Amino acid sequence: MGATYDLSGRFAIVTGGAGGLGRGIARALLDAGARVELWDVSAAALAEAAAELGEGVGIRTVDVTDAAAVDRAADAAFSAGGGVDILVNNAGVLGEVKPVWETSPENFQRVLQINLFGAYLVTRAIVGRMRQQAPRPSRVTPHPLRGHVVSIASIQGKEGMASAAAYSASKAGLMALTKSVAKETAQDGIIVTAVTPAAAETAMAREISAERRADILGRIPMGRFVEVEEVARMVLWLSSDECSFSTGGIFDLSGGRATY
């Protein structure tokens, strides 16, 4: 039997919520008793995700690269949820798999816009409002908490990877953003962390060639990709009151690939 967390009464936002990893994280939060709102740019995919996940899920069509749209969505979410306790920055794209001299500036910029700038806009909007809500008594620590922010980075942000300059750079930036915001909110009762998974069995992994897949797999000492449920379990702990002193932490899910 795995560890259990009580998130009843909590309200969570998961960006990129219509994708496989977003759905897996949302399912774990729901199973722990939280209400969850999925944000995604695709209304059709959101509707499908909501139908799959069932009761307790709300959906909101949001382009995370649009500052005004993110602010409107944040206002609506705080109103609907009576506050926001958990933010999971999960929205992301892979981009071109090419050496840097063959990539297009437009694609490089798009990857940074979604993976890094989008996470900045959502974090800015949610954390700014989260700081204004009353701290809630914790169930496991005497220190009141206002919320948790968890960002989905990547092991490629630590190591870099050939033919993935934009993706690697965006995830490295996301880790730095995490550490900076954690320092800014350390005394506000807001815990800000990130995880750095190796490749998971999601739609993003299916975008790559068999040769590229074999290359990535060969870098993971465990010899397999991370399961969506394994990422979700880590996010669940990082979203819970049990995680009360690890702000600014970057947590690996790399099957032994991480070297620092």
Q: Which residues contact 160 (CB under 8 A, 6 or more apart)?
A: 168, 172
Residues 89-117 have a mean pLDDT of: 97
pLDDT given at position 203: 62
Alpha-carbon distance of 64 to 19, in angstroms, equals 15
- Tell me the pLDDT tens digit for each residue of 41-88: 999 999 999 999 999 999 999 999 999 999 999 999 999 999 999 999
Alpha-carbon distance of 33 to 15, in angstroms, equals 19
- From residue 142, alpha-carbon distances to 104, 137, 244 in Å are 51, 7, 10
- Tell me the pLDDT tens digit for each residue of 109-158: 999 999 999 999 999 999 999 999 999 888 788 899 999 999 999 999 99
If DSSP codes are grouped into helix, strand and coil, which group holds residue 87?
strand
Active site (annotated) includes residue 167? yes
Catalytic residue among 5, 120, 167, 260: 167
- The yes-or-no verdict on residue 1 having pLDDT over 60 is no
pLDDT given at position 17: 98
All structural domains of the chain: 11-251 (3.40.50.720)
- Tell me the pLDDT tens digit for each residue of 173-204: 999 999 999 999 999 999 999 999 988 776 66
pLDDT given at position 3: 73
- The yes-or-no verdict on residue 210 having pLDDT over 90 is no
